């Protein structure tokens, strides 16, 4: 992977996305002025994908279970929200005041099962889940973009996650289509002829984090970015390949 002239373009002009909107068509229209070309990568926030897929939950319609009530007492969170978190998770990793870290049903570990409150709705009881299958969502968007622009444009669906032992959130890939999630550099030579033995590059995460710099995290209203100049060995990848198996997760 070499990027002598990597460029990041915010995608402007997207409306507020609502359930049932044709997100791929909206994205195609919005990126057309950037003259998409082969090798470009489109990064889209998980939030805007989830909105188009109608992944909203109204907490007023949620009845918390006994386990949710127990964890709510520990975490000091709304027991209805805790119930939704549990429904989206395969197991609880950590519970403490103001902290509930779980392994999401998609495999990644995150706070609150990546359920979102910000920029979701004026109703404080409405929250937004992750897309049901972000890899499949990325593939659908990539297929539509290929048809619209007659070239392959890989798609990364990104979300903001924290990390063990480091402060601050970064953009990570939760859905990938048309490019590697992880690129294997083992066997390549370094500057001194030494062959790399263990190096695997989190390519899709790097792309997601870079794009987040131009998309922002708050009221910027820029839920997509186009990355140009990235070089990688082409293959069909996924975000699923990025997930470290639980039995190898030292922080689990």
- The strand pairing partners of 200, in sequence order, are 184
Q: State the pLDDT at residue 153.
A: 95
**Whether pTM exceeds 0.85:** yes
Please provide the CATH number assigned to the domain covering 57-127: 3.90.1660.10
| Homologous superfamily assigned to 7-54+130-243 | CofE-like (3.30.1330.100)
**Residue 238 — very low, low, confident or very high, per pLDDT cuts 50/70/90?**
confident
pLDDT in tens, 88-134: 999 998 999 999 999 999 988 899 999 988 778 888 999 999 999 99
Q: pLDDT tens across 9-36, in order?
A: 999 989 889 999 999 999 999 999 999 9
Query: For 202-211, how does the pLDDT look when each residue is reduced to its tens digit (9 = 90+)?
Result: 899 999 999 9
> What average pLDDT score do residues 64-86 get?
97
pLDDT confidence of 242, banded at 50, 70, 90?
confident
Considering only residues 24 and 165, tell me which one the structure prediction assigns the higher pLDDT. 24
Query: Residue 219 pLDDT more than 60?
Result: no
177: how many CB neighbours lie within 10 A of its CB? 28
pLDDT surpassing 70 at residue 196: no
Sketch the domain layout of the chain as residue ranges: 7-54+130-243, 57-127
Q: Is the pLDDT of residue 171 over 50?
A: yes
Asked if domains 7-54+130-243 and 57-127 share a fold, the reply is no
- Separation of alpha carbons 251 and 158, rounded Å: 22
Both tokens of 71, joined, read: 């964890």
Task: Print the SS3 string covering the chain.
Answer: CCCCCCEEEECCCCCCCCCCCCHHHHHHHHHHHHCCCCCCEEEEEHHHHHHHCCCEEEHHHCCCCHHHHHHHHHHCCCHHHHHHHHHCEEEEEEEECCEEEEEECCCCEEEHHHCECCCCCCCCCEEECCCCCHHHHHHHHHHHHHHHHCCCCCEEEEEEEEECCEEEEEEEEEEEECCCCCEECCCCECCCCCECCCCEECHHHHHHHHHHHHHCCCCCCCCEEEEECCCCCCCCCCCHHHCCCHHHCCCC
Residue 151 in this model has a pLDDT that exceeds 50: yes
Q: Does residue 163 register a pLDDT over 50?
A: yes
Please, what is the average pLDDT of the chain? Answer: 88
């Amino acid at each position: 992977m070499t990027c002598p002239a990597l460029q990041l373009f915010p995608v402007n002009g997207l409306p507020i996305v609502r359930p049932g909107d044709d997100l791929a068509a909206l994205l195609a229209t919005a990126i057309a002025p950037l003259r998409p070309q082969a090798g470009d990568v489109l990064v889209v926030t998980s939030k805007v994908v989830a909105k188009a897929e109608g992944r909203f939950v109204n907490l007023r319609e949620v009845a918390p279970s006994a386990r949710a009530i127990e964890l709510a007492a520990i975490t000091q969170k709304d027991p209805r929200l805790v119930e939704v978190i549990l429904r989206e998770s395969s197991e609880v990793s950590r519970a403490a005041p103001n902290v509930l870290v779980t392994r999401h049903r998609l495999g990644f570990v995150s706070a609150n099962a990546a359920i979102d409150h910000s920029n979701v709705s004026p109703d404080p009881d409405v929250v937004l889940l992750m897309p049901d299958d972000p890899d499949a969502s990325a593939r659908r968007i990539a297929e539509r973009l290929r048809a619209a622009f007659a070239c392959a444009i890989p798609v990364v669906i990104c979300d903001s996650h924290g990390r063990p032992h480091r402060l601050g959130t970064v953009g990570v890939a939760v859905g990938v289509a048309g490019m590697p999630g992880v690129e294997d550099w083992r066997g390549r030579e370094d500057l001194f002829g030494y062959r790399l033995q263990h190096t695997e590059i989190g390519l899709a995460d790097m792309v997601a984090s870079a794009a987040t710099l131009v998309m922002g995290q708050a009221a910027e209203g820029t839920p997509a970015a186009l990355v140009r100049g990235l070089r990688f060995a082409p293959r069909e990848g996924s975000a699923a390949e990025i997930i470290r198996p639980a039995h190898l997760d030292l922080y689990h």
